[in-house]
Amino acid sequence: MRLLPVLTLTVALCAPALSAQSVKLPTATQPACDGVLVNIRTSDIKPEAGMDKFLAAVAAQKAWYTSHGYTEDQIFVAKILVRDPDTKALTYTDKQVMTYHFYSATGTSSPTHDAAWDAFVKLFADSSTIKESTLSCVPKAMVPVSK
């Protein structure tokens, strides 16, 4: 008999967290950013796909943003260093990667998805799994120099 109240309470407490994960706030409700919004993702590369397919997804993403007028957006890949536990030597891993997407400081609208959007998103889904994604505000003085 005590199980039902416990389950009800658990669902009630978890519901806000579950809905917050699946709902993206509209741009109008985001707090002001005195700089540039950047999305930083850490992705696990699927072994059957490999790094080359992931890099093709990034290239397709960059091409989509450029072709749709987001010419000031900066999208790039950062390799991740790992230390060998025995030798202590550092090497780049081909199992995980970080991507950075610096959004245009003047961009205010969300992009409209089309077939080309779906294509690069599929390339990402086929080649990787997002392990972590963080949206942050980078101060203007710290934004990388464009192209």
72 lies in a domain? yes
Residue 5 pLDDT greater than 80, yes or no: no
Q: What is the pLDDT of residues 118-134, one digit of tens each?
A: 999 999 999 999 999 99
Residue 110 lies in a domain: yes
CATH number for 91? 3.30.70
Domain contains 20: no
Q: Model's pTM, two decimal places?
A: 0.75
> Within a domain: residue 40?
yes
Q: Based on the structure, what is the number of domains in the chain? A: 1
pLDDT at 87: 96
Kind of pairing, strands 90-102 and 128-139? unpaired
Nearest residue to 53 (alpha-carbon basis) of 119, 129, 131, 124: 124
Question: What is the average pLDDT value for the chain, to the nearest integer?
Answer: 81
Range of the domain at 135: 26-142
Q: What is the pLDDT of residues 98-118, one digit of tens each?
A: 999 999 876 556 778 899 999
Radius of gyration, CA atoms only, the chain: 19
Is residue 14 assigned to a domain? no
**Tokens read off for 44:** 């696990």
Domain contains 9 = no
Residue 88 CB-density burial (10 A; 0-12 exposed, 13-18 middle, 19+ buried): exposed
- Phi, psi (deg, nearest 5) at residue 6: -65, -45
Q: Is residue 42 a part of any domain in this protein? A: yes
Classify residue 3: in a domain, yes or no: no
